[in-house]
Amino acid sequence: MNCSVNIGHGVAIEPRWRNGVLEGVAIDHYVPGPGRELHAQWIPCKPYREDGWDVISGEPLTLAPSIACKRCAWHGYIRGGRWKPA
């Protein structure tokens, strides 16, 4: 995994801040099932992107709504700095 913080369930994140505001989160996760293929994705946050995720809390990190991978069935939430599968 390339991201820096393991948040559980095979998910690691790297929050990226700009001027004290969360710009977005890089997320790495392993595809469920055999093969252990790694998928990476960028989650933009408001206000940097109008259609981005809402930052409910920066520390511990909580985002809304849920996050789904566009390449596999992986889906869940970042709540209280931990990954919660959907």
Structure confidence by residue, pLDDT tens digits, 32-86 = 777 778 999 999 999 999 999 999 999 999 999 999 998 888 999 999 999 999 9
Q: CA 2 → CA 18, 30, 40, 51, 64, distances in Å?
A: 20, 12, 9, 25, 23
- pLDDT value of residue 35: 76
- pLDDT value of residue 80: 97
Q: How many Cβ atoms from other residues are within 10 Å of residue 71's Cβ?
A: 11
Q: Can you tell me which residue has the tokens 């690691």?
A: 12
Q: Residues 20-25: what's their mean pLDDT?
A: 94
Q: Residues 5-18: what's their mean pLDDT?
A: 94
> Is the pLDDT assigned to residue 2 strictly greater than 70?
no
Quote the CA–CA distance of 33 and 66 in Å, as a whole number.
Answer: 21
